[in-house]
Structure 1
Amino acid sequence: MASDEELVGQLEQVWASMAALADVLDEEEWRLPTECPGWSVQDHLVHITGIEWMLLGRPAPEYELAAYPEHVKNDVGRANERFVDSRRSWAGPEALAEFLEVTADRLTQLRTFTADDFGASSWTPVGPGTVRDLLPFRVFDSWVHEQDMRRAVGRPGDLQGPVAEVALERLVGAMPFVVGKKVAPPDGTTVVFSRTAPLAGTTALAVAGGRARALDRAPADPTVQILLDGETFARLACGRLDPAATIASGAVHFHGDAQLGRRVVEEMNFLF
């Protein structure tokens, strides 16, 4: 488990990577669409600014939308959309300047925190927790949106190292929920995700008592083995790809029970 200081360092790293990417974009690239419906490259950077703005305790912009996208289901989502839309008239460099200012202030704040501050109560995406609980989610969220930006402009990066490892841990950690609760196959089912680079690795799960749990090693003959590259794994888990189209493209292969494998891939999105 990463220390508080390591988590703050990972935030600094991913935000620096986002800033370096954004710094070389032209205005056309800022406006390019991404795999998030309705969101441009600029919108992703602004979204991260908005979350950290809120966590700094700054007042939300006095701004309202007439309607919200279908995927927005709660107050946090509505607040996100309002903040993003309030900056859509800005030029890319303006959005970057605000991102740099807000994230610098957030890092300054976090570096003053004591152990008690990191242990203080905080909102997290999965319910009440502590500031310490929240920080890995902030690393993960920032990395996911950085990858959205990078794919849209054709500049891959940040697919290895500590930040990518934190993100992958979150993605892998969601798969027992996907398999055990969303797909809910019978007890005794084993599912193995075999990922090639980037983000290479193996995740093996077994279902018992109606729940899926991680195995230390993959069984020799799993019910289904799902083979895909790590970036496709991440995009499916984050709802960035259409599962059926991805399977049809040949980006995912199955050994064993292909019908079960397809069901798992169709349910991999755990963010929406």
Structure 2
Amino acid sequence: MTRAGIAAARSSTAQLAEIVSQMDDDQWELPSACAGWRVIDVVAHLAALASEAVDPPPPDPSWPKNRERYHDLRVDERRGRSHAEVLDEWHRSTPRQLDLLEAAQEPPVADEPVVVPGLGTYPRHLLANTMAFNVFCHLRNDLLAPGGPLPFTLPEPTDGLVAPAVDFMLAGLPQMQGPELTATVHRPLVLDLTGPGATTVTITPATEPDGRLTVAAGADAATRIHSTALGFIAWATTREPWRDHCRITGDASAATPFLDCLDII
């Protein structure tokens, strides 16, 4: 199971709580590095995710099919709330979300497939890694300097924080963009990530016309994309240009279309 995901989600949440406790009203209104969202909107987004995990709303056909636009909708619903109201929702729902994710590590529910609209299908236990990714990525990339506006510091990221986030990203990579990303890979590519969260995987082309890419552990291709795992979290979510982080060995023309297209949500 992905108990490392639970530990990472709890640790990043505790770090965010530490930052929250130091902030003033003016800082909540600063623009985050997440386009169109203030700092308070990033927390509203995490609060919305937590509330939906605890008390899932009934499906609504009017919701945007695009996952990013859906997140915008949920943030927009909270824009009229005070800072205190947003923070209260986050403080109330997040511990319950973590407890539910912890319970989802146990059989028989751990391997149940869960459809996350717009993102793909995952075993239930991997949803802990989803939260680990969300909190880590927003905190470290969108809120804190140098990318974000907040001048607070945290300890350097550890393997225990980064690896679960990367695991979710690799699980989502074949699913989130579907045929759009699949069409960019015609030969196997190795993704070699170093530093905290280090891993090496091979991305293999789809074998059927309507199939998906596969991501498997190990290096089994001549063309390789080299990056730190921390950099991967930034560039694979299009927060930063991949060219600022990646070095390609082998056939660059085979890797460039994939890198230009990749956008993990």
The answer to whether the superposition gives a TM-score over 0.5 is yes
Residue 218 of structure 2 aligns to a residue whose secondary structure is coil
Matches within 5 A, 1:1-272: 1-3=1-3, 7-57=5-55, 73-74=64-65, 80-90=71-81, 92=83, 94-107=85-98, 115=107, 123-125=115-117, 126=119, 131-147=124-140, 148-150=142-144, 151-152=147-148, 153=150, 155=153, 159-175=157-173, 181-185=182-186, 189-207=187-205, 209=207, 211-214=213-216, 216-217=218-219, 219=221, 222=222, 224-241=223-240, 243=241, 246-247=242-243, 250-271=244-265
- Number of equivalent positions: 247
Residue 37 of structure 2 aligns to a residue whose secondary structure is coil
- Distance of 1:52 and 1:175 partners within structure 2: 23
Amino acid at match of 1:2: T
The 8 Å contact of residues 6 and 128 in structure 2, kept in 1 or not, is answered as yes
Coordinate RMSD, CA, aligned: 3.7
Greater than 6 Å deviation, 4+ residue runs? 111-114, 177-180
Residues 76 and 201 of structure 1, relative CA distance in 2, 3 Å threshold: closer
Unaligned runs of at least 5 residues, structure 1: 61-71
Amino acid at match of 2:190: V
Residue 16 of structure 1 aligns to a residue whose secondary structure is helix
Return the offset for 1:176: 5.5
Return the offset for 1:183: 0.8
Return the offset for 1:9: 4.3
- Distance of 1:165 and 1:96 partners within structure 2: 28
The 8 Å contact of residues 185 and 254 in structure 2, kept in 1 or not, is answered as no
The 8 Å contact of residues 180 and 207 in structure 1, kept in 2 or not, is answered as no
- Residue by residue over 1:102-130, the C-alpha shift from the partner in whole angstroms, topping out at 9 and shown as x without a partner, is 21343456667775666778553445666
- Distance of 2:129 and 2:227 partners within structure 1: 25
TM-score relative to the length of structure 2: 0.72
Q: Which has more radius of gyration?
A: 1
- Distance of 1:86 and 1:173 partners within structure 2: 30
Residues 17 and 180 of structure 1, relative CA distance in 2, 3 Å threshold: same
Residues 209 and 105 of structure 1, relative CA distance in 2, 3 Å threshold: closer
Residue 191 of structure 2 aligns to a residue whose secondary structure is strand
Unaligned runs of at least 5 residues, structure 2: none
Residues 196 and 106 of structure 1, relative CA distance in 2, 3 Å threshold: closer
